[in-house]
Amino acid sequence: MRVTILEPRTADRKGELADISYYRSLPQQELVERCWQAKRQLGEQLLILGHHYQQDEVIQFADLRGDSYKLSSEAAKHAECRYIVFCGVHFMAETADILTPPEVVVILPDLTAGCSMADMADLDSVESAWEQLGEVVDTSDIMPVTYINSTADLKAFCGELGGLVCTSSNARAALEWAFARRSKVLFFPDQHLGRNTARRMGIPLDAMCVWDPELPLGGNNADTLRRCQLILWKGHCSVHQMFKPQHVAWFRQHYPDIKILVHPECMMEVVDQADLVGSTEFIIKTIRQAPPGSRWAIGTELHLVNRLKNEHPDKEIHFLSTMVCMCATMYRIDLPHLCWALENLVAGRVVNEIKVPEPTRTWARIALERMLQVH
């Protein structure tokens, strides 16, 4: 089995810094000052990447901000740096490691910053699904496509079998690329992105089915699997799953002139009622270009929506859900962890390195390069 390993490096200098519990005890302002100082000391050898869902106290240190696609492509362009500190989640740091030269060290400040969606599809389950599919259809006519919110070994699975990775920005281009080469697609792990994208391409719902990894044949019969063009993994984003059609209805009732803007990871029933649907970068661009005084209800991660509110006070921006919907695992990358990771680098020690081993690295890179080419 392909396994992504976490490989801390031996200290270049003697001595260890205080553990993370010490950093948690420090006042926020001191942490901020120490982060800036460490960043200045490390200079051009350091690149800090920050995902848009990151909290403000951390995102201020990012040299580059973006969604998964933008940060993946930017990481590939900055091979001159020595260290990348990724303020995101585990699969993003893996992607940065895959797309940069081996000598570039990628660090995730807190190794518990994972992704619940990525955890919904593991290599064993996908390989089992592929084997079961092979009992009823010719798998040489199935293209595997994985959303970037997945582990490196699943990206490698796709690369080795001729498939590719996609993001919410280029999901349509990726599916068009896949269907131009094979008649069926296995799409994992987010069923909603796959379904919403396919419907916009004109693929009817009865040409899609959901694969439940807990059930034989994914809960389908052989005839269904032979008929379906798109086989969707039973996975979802825990944040975007929280947005419901009734939330849209409430805003429509109370603000007749409001525009509903949502991410394609939302369920189909929400997407169908929205005015605009698009990736994180699309959402940011839409709000930036919106006329002053316009009203918006946005269905995506809470930190990003609040940041958009603060950055665009000339527009009325609401969070679409009545419940708090933030990426809890992204939230684990906080100031204490960032300061701890940066000061260890200043001291010549690498902590929490993300290292993807061969051959996973090579095959995953192939799948990612295909993604970058079809955008």
CATH code of the domain containing 158: 3.40.50
**Same domain flag for 125 and 232:** yes
Residue 7: per-residue pLDDT? 40
Burial letters 7-42, b for 16+ CB under 10 A, else e: eeeeeeeeeeeeebeebeebeeeebbebbeebbeeb
Q: Are 107 and 86 in contact (CB under 8 A)?
A: yes
Which helix or strand (DSSP H or E) is residue 287 part of? helix 280-289
28 belongs to a structural domain: yes
CATH value at residue 90: 3.40.50.10800
List, as one string, the DSSP characters of 305-340: HHHHHHH-TTSEEEES-SS----TTGGGS-HHHHHH
DSSP 183: S
Q: Residue 296 is part of which domain span?
A: 240-319
**Same domain flag for 84 and 100:** yes
For the entire predicted model, the pTM comes to 0.87
End position of a domain, from candidates 236, 256, 278: 236
**Same domain flag for 314 and 340:** no
221 belongs to a structural domain: yes
End position of a domain, from candidates 216, 236, 256: 236
Q: What does the block give as tokens for 323?
A: 């419940």
370 belongs to a structural domain: no
251 belongs to a structural domain: yes
Residue 186: per-residue pLDDT? 98
Per the structure, the count of domains in the chain is 3
**Same domain flag for 129 and 169:** yes
**Same domain flag for 143 and 122:** yes
The crossing angle, in degrees rounded to 10, of helices 360-374 and 68-77 is: 110
**Same domain flag for 142 and 202:** yes
End position of a domain, from candidates 236, 271, 302: 236
Tens place of pLDDT per residue across the chain (375 aa)? 343 433 434 334 444 577 888 999 999 999 999 999 999 999 999 999 998 778 888 999 999 988 776 786 787 787 778 999 999 888 889 999 998 888 999 999 988 876 667 778 899 999 999 999 999 999 999 999 999 989 999 999 999 999 999 999 899 999 999 999 999 999 999 999 999 999 999 999 999 999 999 999 999 999 999 999 999 999 988 788 889 999 999 999 999 999 999 999 999 999 999 999 999 889 999 999 999 999 999 999 888 899 899 999 999 999 998 765 555 565 678 999 999 999 999 999 999 999 999 999 999 999 999 998 886
Q: Are 169 and 375 in contact (CB under 8 A)?
A: yes
Task: Kindly compute the dihedral angle of the four CA atoms of residues 46, 88, 280, 262, in this order, to the nearest 10 degrees.
Answer: -170
373 belongs to a structural domain: no
368 belongs to a structural domain: no
155 belongs to a structural domain: yes
What Rg value do the Cα atoms of the chain yield, rounded?
Answer: 21
Rounded (5°) CA angle 261-263-266: 110
165 belongs to a structural domain: yes
**Same domain flag for 109 and 122:** no
Pairwise CA distance, residues 28 & 24, whole Å: 9
Residue 2: per-residue pLDDT? 41
Residue 323: per-residue pLDDT? 65
**Same domain flag for 286 and 355:** no
CB atoms within 10 A of CB 225: 20
**Same domain flag for 125 and 214:** yes
